[in-house]
Structure 1
Amino acid sequence: MIQREMNRYFCPICLIFGIIGCLLNILLFSQKQFRNISCCTYFLAASISMITTLILGFGPHAYSVNHPNPVHTISSFCKIRSYVAQSFMMIHRWLMAMACIDRYMVSSINVKLREFANPNVAYRIIIIIMIIFIILPLHNLFFLDIKNGMCVNSIVAFTIYHSLFTIIFGGFLPLLIMITFVILIRHNLATKQQRRQRDMYKIKGSTVRLLNSRDYQALMMLFVQVIFYILSTISWMIFLIYAPFGRRIHNKSNNRIAIEKFFRYITEILVYTYPTLSFYINIFASQTFRDVLVNILCSLLTSRERFWYRSRLSLTRTQTN
């Protein structure tokens, strides 16, 4: 009952708000002031990947309210959906991790490291990540199938490999990279500020801030992204650790089977909340993003008013003639 109501209301709402958010992310990161910033290049590519993830993640659940869920009824859809969803999910997570590395290089005092933080390098890394995670999840096409009304690995031994692959490449490594480089970014910024304070302690009677506005907003945005990544992923990682052992238990009661299915459902839904909230996290954490969004919306409204004014003026002239 709870699962059905979540499919009816929660999943469609997340799908709608998530797609709108990703499209706004794409619109923002495509602006002229962000095109030459390599970090924004990663965010832009990640937002495109997130749209596919959201459609394949929430779409089947929303569809299942009035129809049988194709994930658990159509073998080919089970395989393809799991493969594509995992592939794009891995892509956007690793792109976010690369964005953290990029910010670290930008904040570094090492000139050679800063040279790597440019859009041309970012484009190459994006292509490499896409190729890697289009190839690595191919096992889903061969070993996934429908069993007992669930889309699961058909071979118990392969469940262990799938769990380890997902935990390491989809959870642990991206998370480790994000946390490590956010800490290193903070260290770099503090080191830079300490050098400035050697020669200048006060400016016009005010103490020098540890971080300037732009650095602070970038760091806060990454920090909040990492927090939401942990919250949305940790329960899914726990389920993946349990899954191989749970498959070895025979003669399960109906209650236990129902609980396992519901836990799997909840943890999977939580995973997809991260791409859903990505845009709203950026807007919450960055004043710059809020200002750019307001400017874009104002420009669109102004353009629309000009369009209607010209249309009415043209119509008036036509009627006069």
Structure 2
Amino acid sequence: MLSSNETTIEVLHHATIQFNRYLSIIIYLFGTVGNILNVIILSQKKFRSNSCAFIFLISSIASLIAILSGLTNRMIAGWTVDLTFTINWLCQLRAMVLFTSRTIVLWLITLATIDRWLLSCFNVRRQQMRTLKTAQQCTIIIIIFSILLNAPIIYCYEANLLETPVQCYGKTAACRIYTDIMYGCGSILIPSLVMTSFSIMIILNIRKTRRRIGIFNISTNHVRRQRQTKKRDRRLLIMLLVQVTFIVVLTFPQAIQKLYATITLDFNSSSKSILQIAIEDLIFNFVVLLTYLANGLPFYIYTLSGGNVFRNACWQLIRAFGQTITCQNN
């Protein structure tokens, strides 16, 4: 008869497997479809000249890559052998692509937040700084930075490891410390803090702008000249702020888990009980899935918070697709 600890360990192990097996499939399907629709919609002519929409477009592509490179093997691992756990070059390639694409996504959303902050500024010069060309240049810089930041993964990661959260992981203590801190801070904590800071500054700028307009109207008693942001820009701002909230909520737990793993690094696992290891394994897998959820939600966030601007573009796409099918059938 199993002891209470053994039963708990079995339950935790079973829960971990079920998370990876079924929750991965749900996130994979909805995330893949959502990001593909994002790419198609944001590629439309009406969005091409908008710097924030361009950033959302590239971010959606990076999110799609993150989901495909990360969740595919997790779903497979729930049913059969995961080759990235046993073949070195596959392990390194997957880790490099996955972490680089995640880093790109988070820093691009940070860039979008800065873009919206510039738009919200009362200073005209700052508003003029946000151009499509600037967004494109910054995007290239972010991609290069993300690749360089994650480049050591090619050396650090190795397959067939034991006593690690997954078999494809950092092979030495130095590697694990670097990759955990690099990802936890460079890819999650820092961009999340920057996003949050600029989001607060955007809200403050909007309030200041309204206050100035109100004072101007009262003092002059003239016809109101309230300078409003274009409808599309307002909706993009709302979409961005909602997405920032979800990103921070869904990615911060993994940053904390990474830092915890670094602080409690113990390769012999002699000081940890089997129950503690099982709990940490469950938490590790759960917070990892939360980050994939952050990659899969943008389309649904944009649809719900983007107002008629994004929803109309979505319906136009659906109608065009329906007309194409109808024409082919006829």
How high is the TM-score relative to the length of structure 1? 0.87
Distance in 1 (CA, whole Å) between partners of 2:119 and 2:228 is 17
CA RMSD of aligned residues (A): 2.4
Quick one: distance in 1 between partners of 2:104 and 2:229?
31
Letter aligned with residue 298 of structure 1: R
The equivalences for 1:1-321 within 5 A come to 1-145=14-158, 146-148=160-162, 150-200=167-217, 214=232, 216-248=234-266, 250-251=269-270, 252-287=272-307, 288-309=309-330
In the TM superposition, residue 307 of structure 1 has moved relative to its aligned partner by 4.3
Q: 1:214 offset after TM fit, Å? A: 4.8
Contact 1:193 1:211 in 2 (8 A): no
- Partners of 1:86 and 1:281 lie apart in 2 by 23
Cα contact 1:235–1:267 (8 A) shared by 2 = yes
- Quickly say closer, same or farther: Cα 1:262–1:72, change in 2 above 3 A: farther
Stretch of structure 1 that moved more, 72-81 or 171-180: 72-81
Cα deviation per residue 1:56-93 (whole Å; 9 max; x = unaligned)? 12110111133112232222222221111001110111
1 CA distance for matches of 2:61 and 2:175?
31
The answer to which structure, 1 or 2, has the higher relative contact order (CA under 8 A, 6+ apart) is: 2
Unpaired runs of 5+ residues, structure 1, are: 202-207, 310-321
**1:134, 1:30 → 2: CA distance?**
25
Contact 1:189 1:211 in 2 (8 A): no
CA distance in structure 2 between the partners assigned to 1:226 and 1:198 by the alignment:
32
- Call closer, same or farther: CA 1:152–1:300 in 2, change over 3 Å: closer
Which position in structure 2 is the counterpart of 1:313?
none
- What secondary structure is seen at the aligned counterpart in 1 of 2:275? helix
1:317 is matched with which residue?
none
Of 261-270 and 275-284, deviating more is: 261-270
Corresponding residue SS for 2:78: coil
Deviations 1:152-187 (A, max 9, x none): 222213322222211221112111121111112222
Residues 181, 262 of structure 2: 8 Å contact kept? no
SS in structure 1 of the partner of residue 79 of structure 2: coil
Is contact 1:21-1:280 (8 Å) kept? yes
- In structure 1, the residue matched to 2:4 is none
Q: Secondary structure at the match of 2:297?
A: helix
SS of residue matched to 2:152: helix
Count residues with an aligned counterpart: 305
Q: In the TM superposition, what is the alpha-carbon distance from 1:211 to its structure 2 partner?
A: 8.3
Equivalent residue letter for 1:106: L
